[in-house]
C-alpha cells in the first residue's frame, strides 16, 4: 500500500502550523511573558526562535523528508542502522507523554467552552474558585480529558490527507480569524494601552539565565521541536516543496500567533485591572474574570475557548501521529488498532495527571504534583535533549552532501543553496553550543 501524504502545499503548511500553534501560544506564551519581563522576554524569544529553533526545525524537516519514514526508521535508515535509532524511539515516546497531559488541558478548554455557552462567567460569584473547583474534582476533568483525546484519535484514525490535513485546513483559518477578532476588540477597551505597553516596552533588567532558558524551552515547545512531530509531518511532504519556505512560514505564523494572542489577552487583563502575572492560571482564572466584566463578554468567552480548543486539537493530532506512524510502519498495526492502543496509553497517563490536582494531589515529585512533573520533564528537559540530539545527528552524522541535496531539492533551489553555508554552521556549531549553554545556565541560575 502506498504511503499517505499531504495533498497540497497549503495543506502541509497549515498542518505544520497547526502543530506549532497550540496551547503553547495561547496559554503558555502570554503567562511566560508576564512572568519574565514583558517585551524584553519577547525580544529574546524572537532571537532564539530564528537563530536556534529555525535551524533545528529545518534539521527535523530534512530527516523526515529525506527518509519518508516514521521517526524511528528515519534515524535508523539515515544512519545506516546504528544506535541512533534509539533517538528515533525517544522522539516517539516523548510526544505521547506530552499528549497525555496536553489532553488534560485540552479537556479544561472543553469544560470552559461549555461554561461560556451557559454564561457561567457573568455574575462574578464562583468565578474566582471555578478553576480550582474544576481541577480538584474527579469526574468532570476526567470526562473532558476523555472527550478531547477521543476527538484527537478520531481525526488521526482517518489518515493524513483526509483527517489531519482536512481538519487543519478548515480550523487554522478559523483560529486566526477568531484570535485576530478578539485582539482587535481587546484593543478597543478603555485602558488597553497599559497592556500594550507591558507587552512592548522592554525591561532588560529581568533578562537573566533563567529567563533565557524559559524562552528557549518555550520556543521548542511552541515549534513542536525535539519530538518526532515535525519529522513525521515532513515525511508526508512532497519532494518538490521548499524546506526553507515551509519552515520559515511555520515559524513566522507561530510567532505571529503568539504575539496576537498576547495582544488579545494582555490589554483586556489590564483594562479590568487584573494581574498579568498569574502564571498558568492566566487563561483559566484571570480571563474568565475579564469576560465576566467586559461588554459582550460571553460571546468573546465562547470564541476564545473555542479557539483554545481548536488550537489544542491541531497540535494534539500531530503528537499522536508520530507514534501511529511508527506502529503502522514498523509493527504492522492497522491504523485503527494503533490508534486504539495509543488512546488507552495516553488516557491512563492523562488520567493520572488529571487526578494529580485532586485525589492524587498527595503524590509530590520535586515539590510539584504529577502534572507539573510531566510538564517540566518533557517540555524543559526531554524536548531540549531531543532537539540537541537532532541537530547533532544532522550536523555530525548525516553527510553534508545529503543535507545539501535535501535542503536544495537536488541543487535546484538557488536561494537555499546560497543560504546553506550559514545554515550548516548554525546546525553544527551554534545550535548545539547554545542549547547546552542556555540549558546549563538555566539549571544553575
Q: In the complex, which residues of this chain contact ligand PFF (CB under 6 A)?
A: 19-20, 22-25, 95, 98, 221-222, 224, 227, 229, 315, 318-319
Backbone angles phi, psi at 22, to 5 degrees: -160, -150
Comparison of 222 and 408: residue with beta carbon closer to ligand PFF: 222
Q: Return the number of the residue (107 or 297) whose C-beta is nearest ligand PFF.
A: 107
CA distance 247 to 236: 14
Phi, psi of 38 (to 5 degrees): 55, -125
Of 62 and 320, CB closest to ligand PFF = 320
Q: Which is nearer to ligand PFF, 71 or 182 (CB)?
A: 71
Taking the complex as a whole, the smallest distance from the CB of residue 277 to ligand PFF amounts, in Å, to: 21
Give the Cα separation of 288 and 356 in Å (integer): 23
Rounded to a whole number of angstroms, the minimum distance from the CB of residue 25 to ligand PFF is 5
Q: Cα–Cα distance between 294 and 288 in angstroms, integer? A: 10
3-class secondary structure, 123: coil
Cβ closer to ligand PFF: 19 or 354?
19
Between 192 and 382, CB nearer to ligand PFF: 382
The C-alpha atoms of residue 431 and residue 439 are separated, in whole angstroms, by 12
Per the CB < 8 A criterion, the answer to whether 79 and 393 are in contact is yes
Residue 166: CB minimum distance to ligand PFF, A: 19
Nearer to ligand PFF, 32 or 426 (CB): 32
Cell of 184: 482587535
As a residue count, the chain comes to 445
Closest CB to ligand PFF among residues 95, 432: 95
Distance in Å, CB of 150 to ligand PFF, minimum: 18
From the CB of 53, what's the least distance to ligand PFF, in Å?
Answer: 11
| Whole-number Å distance between alpha carbons of 239 and 325 | 19
Q: How far apart, in whole angstroms, are the C-alpha atoms of residue 228 and residue 383?
A: 10
Look-up of cell digits 512531530: 229
Distance of closest approach, residue 406 Cβ to ligand PFF, in angstroms: 21
Least distance CB 224 / ligand PFF (angstroms): 4
Quick one: which of 193, 197, 191 has its CA closest to 293?
191
Q: Which residues contact 171 (CB under 8 A, 6 or more apart)?
A: 18, 310, 313, 314
The answer to whether 371 and 98 are in contact (CB under 8 A) is: no
Q: How far is the CB of 170 from ligand PFF (least distance, A)?
A: 19
3-class DSSP state for residue 398? coil
Q: How far is CA 61 from CA 18, 56, 210, 238, 407, in A?
A: 16, 8, 29, 12, 9
Q: In the bound complex, what is the minimum distance in angstroms from residue 30's beta carbon to ligand PFF?
A: 12
CB of 225 to ligand PFF, least distance (A): 8
Query: Which is nearer to ligand PFF, 49 or 222 (by Cβ)?
Result: 222
Closest to ligand PFF by CB, 36 vs 152, is 152
Helices (H), 21-138: 23, 29-35, 39-48, 54-67, 71-78, 85-117, 127-136
Amino acid at each position: 500500500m502506498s504511503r499517505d501524504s499531504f495533498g497540497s502545499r497549503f495543506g502541509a503548511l497549515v498542518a505544520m502550523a497547526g502543530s506549532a500553534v497550540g496551547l503553547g501560544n495561547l496559554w503558555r506564551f502570554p503567562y511566560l511573558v508576564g512572568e519574565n519581563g514583558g517585551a524584553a522576554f519577547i525580544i529574546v524569544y524572537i532571537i532564539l526562535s530564528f537563530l536556534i529553533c529555525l535551524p533545528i526545525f529545518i534539521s527535523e524537516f530534512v530527516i523526515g523528508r529525506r527518509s519518508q519514514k516514521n521517526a524511528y526508521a528515519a534515524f535508523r535508515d539515515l544512519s545506516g542502522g546504528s544506535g541512533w535509532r534509539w533517538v528515533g524511539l525517544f522522539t516517539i515516546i516523548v510526544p505521547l507523554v506530552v499528549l497525555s497531559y496536553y489532553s488534560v488541558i485540552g479537556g479544561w478548554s472543553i469544560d470552559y467552552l461549555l461554561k461560556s455557552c451557559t454564561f457561567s462567567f457573568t455574575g462574578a460569584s464562583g468565578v474566582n474558585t471555578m478553576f480550582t473547583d474544576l481541577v480538584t474534582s474527579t469526574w468532570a476533568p476526567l470526562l473532558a480529558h476523555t472527550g478531547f483525546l477521543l476527538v484527537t484519535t478520531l481525526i488521526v484514525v482517518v489518515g493524513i490527507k483526509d483527517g489531519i490535513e482536512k481538519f487543519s485546513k478548515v480550523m487554522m483559518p478559523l483560529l486566526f480569524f477568531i484570535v485576530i477578532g478578539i485582539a482587535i476588540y481587546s484593543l478597543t477597551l478603555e485602558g488597553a494601552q497599559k497592556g500594550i505597553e507591558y507587552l512592548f516596552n522592554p525591561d532588560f533588567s529581568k533578562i537573566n539565565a533563567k529567563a533565557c532558558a524559559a524562552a528557549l524551552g518555550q520556543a521548542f515547545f511552541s515549534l513542536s521541536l525535539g519530538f518526532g512531530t515535525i519529522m513525521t509531518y515532513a515525511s508526508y511532504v512532497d519532494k518538490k516543496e521548499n524546506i526553507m519556505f515551509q519552515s520559515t512560514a511555520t515559524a513566522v505564523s507561530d510567532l505571529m500567533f503568539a504575539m496576537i494572542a498576547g495582544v488579545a489577552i494582555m490589554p483586556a487583563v489590564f483594562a479590568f485591572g487584573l494581574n498579568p502575572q498569574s502564571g498558568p492560571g492566566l487563561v483559566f482564572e484571570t480571563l474568565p474574570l475579564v469576560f465576566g466584566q467586559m461588554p459582550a463578554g460571553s460571546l468573546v468567552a465562547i470564541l476564545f475557548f473555542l479557539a483554545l480548543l481548536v488550537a489544542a486539537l491541531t497540535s494534539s493530532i500531530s503528537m499522536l501521529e508520530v507514534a501511529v506512524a511508527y506502529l503502522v510502519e514498523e509493527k504492522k498495526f492497522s491504523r485503527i488498532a494503533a490508534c486504539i492502543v495509543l488512546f488507552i496509553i495516553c488516557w491512563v497517563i492523562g488520567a493520572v495527571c488529571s487526578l494529580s490536582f485532586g485525589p492524587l494531589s498527595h503524590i509530590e515529585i520535586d515539590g510539584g504534583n504529577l502534572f507539573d512533573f510531566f510538564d517540566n520533564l518533557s517540555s524543559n528537559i526531554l524536548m531540549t535533549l531531543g532537539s540537541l540530539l537532532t541537530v547533532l545527528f544532522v550536523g555530525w552524522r548525516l553527510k553534508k552532501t545529503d543535507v545539501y541535496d535535501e535542503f536544495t531539492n537536488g541543487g535546484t533551489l538557488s536561494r537555499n543553496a546560497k543560504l546553506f553555508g550559514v545554515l550548516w554552521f548554525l546546525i553544527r556549531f551554534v545550535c548545539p553550543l547554545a542549547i547546552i549553554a542556555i540549558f546549563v545556565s538555566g539549571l544553575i541560575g
